[in-house]
Structure 1
Amino acid sequence: MQIVDAQVHAWVSGDSTGHHRRAPITRDVLVDEMVRAGVNRVLLVPPLWDPEGNAYSLALAQAEPERFAVMGLLPAGVEDPAAAIETWREQPGMLAVRFLFNTPERLAPLLEGRYERVWPVAQESGLVVALHVPGALEEADAIARRFPRLRLIVDHLGVPRGASGPAAFDHLPALLALARHPNVHVKAAGVGDYALDPWPFRSIEPPLRQIFDAFGAQRVVWGSDLSRLHHPYRQCVTHFSETLAWLSDADRAAVMGGNLCRLLGWNQGGSEERGRAA
């Protein structure tokens, strides 16, 4: 089974305030972590704190396209987001785009309609869009309803930043309601950090089971959010690949990489051994 991580921040400079890991995750650091955790591929998600923006992640993806690809961020202050999205995938290694609406300041432009021209352009171009919208899942619902061919991923299962224990899933009814839209996937990134108990994080199995029952294994993608993890990378992998008893072998293969590669059109022809080699 090929393991593909749907979210890792890689960077060489900048202060990772708010994440557990403060030292930069460079290419060599990441590859070492991947080998030890048994991860074959990584979708790089450039962090806001990196002054180079998408550049470092794109350089890694262009050098090693079977190991890395990028879900990029629009540069701050871009004048015409729709025009930028129209040619987004012309950048080698750039396979998707992520929008951060996880603070009142970042959510305001969405509520003001500044992205209205983005969604139809993304839909027509086939671009995969990830939305980080904790506390405003109704906005994801509205976008999915209006643009049924737009492929959407809801980040972090909609969990608010810093939430843990039962409160992490207070929003669960709103998340489950999104399952009625066939174009919506959910990203389960580092969900063990929401648990109050150690691996295998049995306390969060009930909400996870509800999410799988609603969306089906074919619409869940696993990720680590490595820089935020408070537990070992390998535990994050095996939480989904080994301990969720309701998943079949085919389900595990889909969640742990197949779904993401299918969504992104990321060629799955490379060998696992080549993906593991440093």
Structure 2
Amino acid sequence: MICDSQVHAPDTPHAGPLPGLEPEQLILEMDGAGVDRCVIVPLVPPGDDATASNPAAVAMAQTDPGRFAVMAPFDLRRPEKVPLLARWRETPGLLGVRLAFLRGPNLALLLDGRLDWFWSAAEEAGVPVMLLAPDLAAEVGHVAGRHPRLRLVLDHLNLHPMKDYDDLGAAVRPLLALAAHDNVATKASALPCWARDSFPYRSVRQPLESVVEAFGTRRVFWGSDLTRLPCSYSECVRLFTEEMPFLDQDDLEWVMGRGVMEWLGWDANPGLRSRDDPTLHSKS
């Protein structure tokens, strides 16, 4: 089973550089590329609760729980909302939280060490957290060490989505130190965006291999970040399934889906339907 660890969907009402995908369009893309499941990272600001701020994404996951699940944002400026975490995974379709630390209040809160209340609550509730935290490996390591039962997943090999890198191997090096924390995993998502060449993107092979050697195949999760890709969805899949000779079939089982599903606690079988099931494309 192939599970994409990051897709932005569905479409969002606000203008932004990364448009989401409507359900029907995403399903067609998945079917064409042979992708069975997607973890949806909604492009919405956090609201009073996960369902209220992500109704369209949650509806996708609840309508088709075998194909979609959601990692929803949480408002770190509102500690009074921490009781939500204890009930977070009770909402069908929600697997955990995704946080971005690129700029603004979130970044300041992390750098100032003012988020222990959140990390502790997520750890206690068993809520996994995805982090967009480029250049913050030391801070993430501190969190991982203080909260060893908190499952963390770093986006994009901890690369910055808006940066180009002359030396991708050097760019991923700070990430490798985090492999010592067995509660830290990483998404190998959007890698074609940082390639210095065209498909099959051999420039990303060695950096990825170094990450897999450090983390093991059970803590490295293939992902597309589909709406940013400079290539087709199928090519992003084939980049891993056909162009990474250091990954054998057992390795690919974990990297291409099993790893992220087990890490996030997404049951492999709830309501799963074949990509050939015509009801996947029908509107009720």
| Residue matched to 1:269 | 269
The one-character-per-residue Cα deviations of 1:1-31 (angstroms, maximum 9, x if unpaired) are x110110111233245233xx4x51000000
Q: How many residues align?
A: 274
| Residue matched to 2:212 | 212
Contact 2:169/2:206, CA 8 A, preserved across alignment: no
Deviates more, 1:221-230 or 1:75-84: 75-84
The one-character-per-residue Cα deviations of 1:156-190 (angstroms, maximum 9, x if unpaired) are 11101222343445432210000111111010111
The separation in 2 between residues aligned to 1:276 and 1:194, in whole angstroms, is 33
Q: Which of the numbers 42, 45, 61 marks the counterpart of 2:38?
A: 42
Contact 2:66/2:272, CA 8 A, preserved across alignment: no
Q: Which amino acid aligns with 2:4?
A: D
The one-character-per-residue Cα deviations of 1:188-221 (angstroms, maximum 9, x if unpaired) are 1110111021111101211111111111111101
Contact 2:76/2:106, CA 8 A, preserved across alignment: no
Contact 1:160/1:168, CA 8 A, preserved across alignment: no
Once the two structures are TM-superposed, the CA of residue 142 in structure 1 deviates from its matched residue by 0.3
Change (3 A) 1:160 1:12: closer
Contact 1:123/1:149, CA 8 A, preserved across alignment: yes
The reply on whether 1:88 has 2:88 as its aligned counterpart is: yes
Contact 2:73/2:98, CA 8 A, preserved across alignment: yes
Secondary structure at the aligned position of 1:144 is classed as: helix
Query: TM-score normalized by structure 2?
Result: 0.89
Task: List runs of 5+ in structure 1 lacking aligned partners.
Answer: none
Once the two structures are TM-superposed, the CA of residue 75 in structure 1 deviates from its matched residue by 4.4
Change (3 A) 1:189 1:16: farther
The separation in 2 between residues aligned to 1:138 and 1:69, in whole angstroms, is 29
Change (3 A) 1:163 1:170: farther
Q: Which amino acid aligns with 2:30?
A: M
Contact 1:44/1:70, CA 8 A, preserved across alignment: yes
The separation in 2 between residues aligned to 1:50 and 1:169, in whole angstroms, is 34
The separation in 2 between residues aligned to 1:171 and 1:125, in whole angstroms, is 33
Once the two structures are TM-superposed, the CA of residue 265 in structure 1 deviates from its matched residue by 1.7
| Residue matched to 1:10 | 9
The separation in 2 between residues aligned to 1:220 and 1:94, in whole angstroms, is 21
The one-character-per-residue Cα deviations of 1:32-80 (angstroms, maximum 9, x if unpaired) are 1001111001111111379973211100001110111111111475442
Q: Which amino acid aligns with 1:84?
A: L
| Residue matched to 2:21 | 25
Task: List runs of 5+ in structure 2 lacking aligned partners.
Answer: none
The separation in 2 between residues aligned to 1:75 and 1:265, in whole angstroms, is 23
Change (3 A) 1:271 1:199: farther
Give the ranges of 4+ consecutive aligned residues of structure 1 lying more than 6 Å apart after TM superposition: 49-52
Secondary structure at the aligned position of 2:212 is classed as: helix
Secondary structure at the aligned position of 1:69 is classed as: strand
Contact 1:70/1:94, CA 8 A, preserved across alignment: yes
The separation in 2 between residues aligned to 1:121 and 1:135, in whole angstroms, is 25
The one-character-per-residue Cα deviations of 1:124-180 (angstroms, maximum 9, x if unpaired) are 222111111101111110011111111110111110122234344543221000011
CA RMSD in angstroms, aligned pairs only = 2.1
Contact 1:34/1:276, CA 8 A, preserved across alignment: no
Deviates more, 1:35-44 or 1:118-127: 118-127
Change (3 A) 1:257 1:68: same
